[in-house]
Each structure stands twice: as structure tokens, then as C-alpha cells.
Amino acid sequence: MTNSMNDIRHSKCIFMIGSNAAEAHPVAMQHILYAKEVNGAPLIVVDPRFTKLAAKATEYVRIRPGTDTAFLMGLINYIIQNDWHDKEFIRTRVAGFEEMRKVAAHYTPEVVEDITGVPKEQLARVAKLLATNRPGTVIWCMGITQHHIGSSNTRACCILQLVLGNMGVSGGGTNIFRGHDNVQGATDVCVLSHSLPAYYGLKEGSWKHWCKVWGVDYEWIKSRFHSKEYMHKKGFTLARWYEGVIQEDKITQYTPIRAVVFWGCASNSQSQYHKLKKALDKLDLVVIIDPFPTTTAAMCEKDNVYLLPSTSQYETEGSVTSSSRQAQWRYKVVDPIYEAKTDYEIMYEFVKRFGFADKFYKNIKQIPEDVTREIARGALTIGLCGWLPERIKKHTDNWHTFDIDTLQAKGGPCDGEYYGLPWPCWTETHPGTPILYDISKPVAKGGLPFRARFGTEYTYPDGRKENLLAAPGVANPGSEIKGGYPEFPGWKTDPNVIKEALRRGMAPFGNARARCYCWNFPDPVPIHREPLHSPRADLIKKYPTYPDKPDHYRVYTRFASEQKPELVKEYPLVLITGRMVEHMGGGAETRSNKYLAELAPEMYAEINVKVANDYGLREGDYVWIESPEGGRIKVKVKVTDRVDERTIFLPFHFGGFFMGRSYAANYPEGHQPYALGEPANIVTNYGYDIITQIQATKEGLCRLKKA
């Protein structure tokens, strides 16, 4: 997130695509509605479904699922063709514009209408709104990311803002609302399979850096792995770990997975859930660490499950990171009840039994403060150096001294600092960086250029060379170099280099141009590729997917071999999933709350009036929804015009049923949730992003049968 939720109050235009903030992020709506109602900012909502957010829109755009890149590139092309692009911003701070322009030219209003279903007149209207109301913000969520070309979707959003010159300014930016509390923090410390904390990757130098931070011997860490090859190899992802057990697709792993730990994680949030259940029943060990017995616990029918009760957020404390890159200190409100232990205690018990507590806690004597200090000491790449627990607590204690519009403190003990010290916060006196890539302020005062990550020059396939550093005269105030410059050698591992860069008024990671052309991606410029399971068989040949990808996070991943034009004949309806305001994630906590369960007690499927009539269905009838992979769920019908005649919507928060059968008796006595239902992800289709392997839950196919 380049800006912040509060900064949306300064936006002159709000473009939301694949986001239903009214239900998924209701607190953030105060800033969105402030910009709309006070500033008069147009609110553009792009979504296959008429959501509660769409009801607030100035312009609602109904788009065919899986066609976001085509729509975005169409907007970019129309803006360029009408000479509305920010030429000076592009000239001085953008690389690869000409290569991108050539690709975007294909996406004429007529082509976009054919692909997306969005009328060409509406495309033109939206493009003009974006061009005439600047700065504008672009906001997205899982409706953009959870596609097999999700990485192209996000890049197209960024390119749109570069073309408009909306980056590095208040009211602009690309702003991704995260789905859960502290998702940004979990990402930053990389609770993922492909990198060490702070996005260092898995190279030998990265391991040696963190070994130095942890105070442990590199050779000892290396000895913990099966081999050095696996020390540097990406692991299974959350989306497909179960393939390491059932092996329906070939895995690149020396042994199948035999145990899994779900730590605050809802398995029913994962696509093709019926395959995940196969894995649960094959594993030797399933451990669930959660305040509530989850759907996962009920789904396991083998005597291999251990429930470890953990505390809620109110019974523990520590630092968390918001979507806006802000640190916040969460204080303990009450002591834990019954046998629940904090995550810190549970981790200690594990580490002690594994026999390396002396190494694990070498720098950690005071919990959780020393944990935060250790992260700050190591995470130089994102500039967490200034995130001392004392500073974070001071911000939380004095939140009332921060301005709601600028997030900067006016007087008091935090005077001049930005709330939560948004990263990068380069030193112990740095105020934080409220807006990424803002060159109007000195780096030491929260300004920042684009990062230089890919060298100083690039030669394109046609032989053209381009300077990748910012143009002469483009730099933050006070910079010793009045223009672009490469990164400072050693800044990722030496905080003294960072301090020296700031002393010179410069960013340690350099001053570069943002790239429209990413040569290290499968598609250097984002292009439309038809969903793997497409309702438009006629477009598959014209816009095919990628070749299959072996060893994609240790699993053979199908792309071209999975894209079957004939599939739509048997599965004619498009399936999408999303959130409800009453429930959260997998729903373990919210469905166990009797008041929320009273508001939203049942799983359902939103079906268009015409579809209901064609299938002989009425409101409240039960239907079977079936996926091409063999998943099926039995749910109630909600007849509505929120979805069109080709689309079915399912909320993904439910659990406790499985393919028509109740698993209520499998919960521990007295712990059955008040609201039970079929997990929507039983019928979400096969499909994973080409870069991240995030699951594609927003572009599948299904069929209906009356129950």
C-alpha cells in the first residue's frame, strides 16, 4: 500500500476494482465516503457483482470475471490515445513506456467490450473520469489477485497510476486493503514459503545476514536442512500444500508431507477443499492452534488431531502492522482463561522440546519487546530499523495527537512523526514514510524515490537501450545527487550505510524509474489471458494461458493442459466468491458468536432471477453446485440481480458441512459453532497465479442441480 487509508480523504477520484470494502473493510469506508461526499470525488467500482460498495458508486462497472487486465489496459490505451497521460512524469520517472504503449494499443474500446462485457461507452466514460479528476487512488483486494494472471492484474493497476502520474502524491497511489488483521506484518516477516523475513529471499547471503541477526552459526542452520539445495528452494504454498500429501500432481520433494500445523489459519479458505480433506485424512499428525475449534478440526476423521488453545488478541500483546505499513502496539486487556496460552508460550514449548531454545532465544529475554527489536534489527530492506517497541508504544499511547488527514503528530511526545512510523522508517529518529515514492519531501523527513533494483540500464529485444535511473533534476530535496542514482552497496545488511545515505539526503536503495516493462515476468507487459476454465471458448485460442509449469513451488502446475474449451458445455455458469460483513475469514470466531450468527446464520448462493427461473428455483430452495474437479455443495438459493445471468456468488466463511453431510458432531462437546454451512471452496476451481501461486477463486465454472 503506497499511501494510507486516511490519505484517501485527499483523493479526487476513487477507482476500486475487485474490492468490496463496504463488507470486507467497513471501517475504511469512512475515508472513502469522506472523499466522495466532501471532496466530490467520483467513486468508480468495478466488480462482477453489484455489491454494497457498488451501491455507493458514482459509476458501477459490471465486468466478466477474469478479464481485469483487458479492462485496465483498455483504460490505459484510451487515456494515451486521447493525450491524457502525464508526459512529464513518464519522461522523468517511468521506464518501458513505449513498449507498454505498443501492447496497450491492442485493447481498443471494441476489443475490451468483447472480452470484458463492459460497453465501450462506459470504458470511455471511466477513462475520462480518471483523467479529469487527479490525483486519484486505485484500490484493490482479492478480486484482483486471486486469478491465474493475478500478478498481471496488479501490475496493470500500477501502470494505470504511472500513466496518470498518480504515484508519490497525496490522494493517489496503489492501495491494497489487506484481508485480515496484521496480514501486512505477516507478509513483512515472511510467513511464506519462498523467502526469509523482509523479502530477503533464500540465497546464501540472505541466510548469512539473518544468521548474524539471530546470533547463530550459519553452518548450524544449514545442518537443519535435508540438503543445501532445499535450503535455497521455495517450499509448498498455503494454496497447494495438500498436494505434498495426496500427490495428484507431481511434486518435487524428497518425501511426502506427513504433518501439518494450522496456526490461526482456516483451511476452508483454500480452494478445492475436498482435495485438502483427502490430505487431512492421510496425514500422521494435524495440529490446530487457535482460540476456537475450527472447521479443520471437524473435518479430520482420523485420530491424528491435536487442539492447542491459543489466546485471543485481547489476552496477549505485541506489535502488529496495518495495511498502511504502520506499526501498532496491542496491549493485553485481560488475562488468558482456561488452558489457553499465548502464541509466545506455545512457540517456546515447541522450541524447547525441539532442543534449540538456546539459539532461538539468544537475543530474546523480554517478550514481546525483544522480538520486535530483533525484527527491526534485521529487516533493513523495508527499513524497519526505527521500529523500537518504545516508539511504537508511544504512538499507540498518544494516537489522539495525530492529524486524521495527514497522520502526522501535531505537538506532544510524537511531534512531527507519522502515525505508526510507516515503513520504511530508516533510523531511530526517522518519522516514517507516509507516502511511498514521494519526492517532494527530504528522505529524512519521509520522502522517497522509486527503488533501483534492476541495474542502471536495460537493452530491449529490439536493441533499444534505456536508462533505468530517474532523469536529471528528479530527486528528493537535499539530495547530493540531483537526479537518478544506483543503490548504495551493502545497505541491505549494514544500518550504517543507511545512515550515511540519509546524511547525504539520499535513499539507500537508489533513485530509479518505475518499470512498465518487467522483463523478468512471463509477460513483460500485462496482457489478457483467458481464465483456465473460461465461459468464452471462442476467446481461448486468441488469448491462451501459459505453458504448464513444472516445480512451481514444488508442485507441477497445469496451465495450457488445464484450459479446456469444451468445459463450458457441461459447466455453463461462472463461480465467484467473496466476503460478508458479519463473518470473517474461515468464520471460526464469528460463526461461534451467537449475535453475528443470528444476523447471518446460513450459507447461500446468489443466483440471478433468469437463472432461477430457467432451473425452476425459488428463494429458499436448495441446490447442488458442482465443480469440474468433483466438488459439490448443497446450499440455499438467494434470488437476486446482484449477479448477472452467467454468474453465481458464494460467501466463503462457512464450514461444518461437507458435500451435503453435517460434521457438527465432530466438534468437541459444547464448541459447535452457532452457524454451520458448506465451505464455498469445495467448488472453487483449479487455478493458480503464474508468479505467486495464489489460488484463482474468482474465475471458475460450475453447474447447478436442484436438490
DSSP state letters, 416-479: TPBTT-PSP--STT----SSTT-TTS-GGGT---B---S-SEEE-TTS-EEE-BPPTT-S-TT-
Q: Cell 484463482 maps to which residue?
A: 696
HEC profile of 497-550: HHHHHHHCCCCCCCEECEECCCCCCCCCCCCCCCCCCCCCHHHHCCCCCCCCEE
Half-sphere CA count of 589, side-chain side, radius 13 A: 14
Helix axes 369-378, 204-214, angle to 10 degrees: 140
Torsion angle, CA of 434/413/319/452, rounded to 10 degrees?
A: 30
Q: What is the residue type of 532?
A: L
C-alpha cell at 177: 486493503
Task: Count other Cβ atoms within 10 Å, centred on residue 616.
Answer: 8
CA distance 452 to 512: 5
C-alpha cell at 404: 486524521
Strand partners, 287: 261, 306
Strand partners, 638: 606
Do 131 and 44 touch, CB atoms closer than 8 A? no
Do 234 and 241 touch, CB atoms closer than 8 A? no
Residues 6+ apart with CB under 8 A from 393: 329
In the DSSP assignment, the letter for residue 56 is G
CA terminus-to-terminus distance, the chain: 44
In the DSSP assignment, the letter for residue 578 is E
Q: What is the DSSP string of 93-135?
A: HEESHHHHHHHHTT--HHHHHHHH---HHHHHHHHHHHHHS-S
Helices (H), 388-534: 389-397, 495-503
Helix (H, G, I), strand (E, B) or coil at 616: coil
Do 398 and 408 touch, CB atoms closer than 8 A? no
CA distance 599 to 592: 12
Strand partners, 514: 94
Residues 6+ apart with CB under 8 A from 361: 348, 351
Do 437 and 162 touch, CB atoms closer than 8 A? no
Q: What is the residue type of 419?
A: Y
How far is the CA of 238 from the CAs of 258, 476, 683, 687, in angstroms?
15, 40, 18, 14
pLDDT at site 678: 97
- 624-637 pLDDT, tens digit per residue, is 999 999 999 999 99
Torsion angle, CA of 323/324/327/330, rounded to 10 degrees?
A: -50
Q: What are phi and psi of 153, to 5 degrees?
A: -60, -50
Do 688 and 557 touch, CB atoms closer than 8 A? yes
Class assignment of domain 564-706?
mainly beta
CA distance 467 to 454: 11
Q: What is the CATH code of the structural domain delimited by 6-176?
A: 3.40.228.10
Q: Cell 500445523 maps to which residue?
A: 261
Q: What is the residue type of 93?
A: R
Do 430 and 444 touch, CB atoms closer than 8 A? yes
C-alpha cell at 296: 479443520
C-alpha cell at 518: 518487467
In the DSSP assignment, the letter for residue 403 is -
CA distance 532 to 441: 45
CA distance 367 to 148: 41
pLDDT at site 190: 87
C-alpha cell at 485: 542514482
Q: What is the residue type of 84?
A: W
| Structural domain boundaries in the chain | 6-176, 564-706
Q: What are phi and psi of 408, to 5 degrees?
A: -100, 140
Residues 6+ apart with CB under 8 A from 293: 307, 588, 667, 668, 671
pLDDT at site 302: 87
What predicted TM-score, i.e. pTM, was given to this entire model? 0.96
CA distance 121 to 341: 58
pLDDT at site 106: 98
pLDDT at site 242: 97
The list of the chain residues with pLDDT below 50 reads none
3-state helix, strand, coil in the chain (%, to 5): 35, 15, 50
Q: Cell 455443495 maps to which residue?
A: 633
Residues 6+ apart with CB under 8 A from 352: none
Q: Is the peptide bond before 65 cis (omega within 30 degrees of 0)?
A: no
pLDDT at site 180: 81
Do 428 and 386 touch, CB atoms closer than 8 A? yes
> 514-515 and 465-467 as β-strands: parallel, antiparallel, unpaired?
unpaired
Q: What is the residue type of 391?
A: R
CA distance 647 to 701: 9
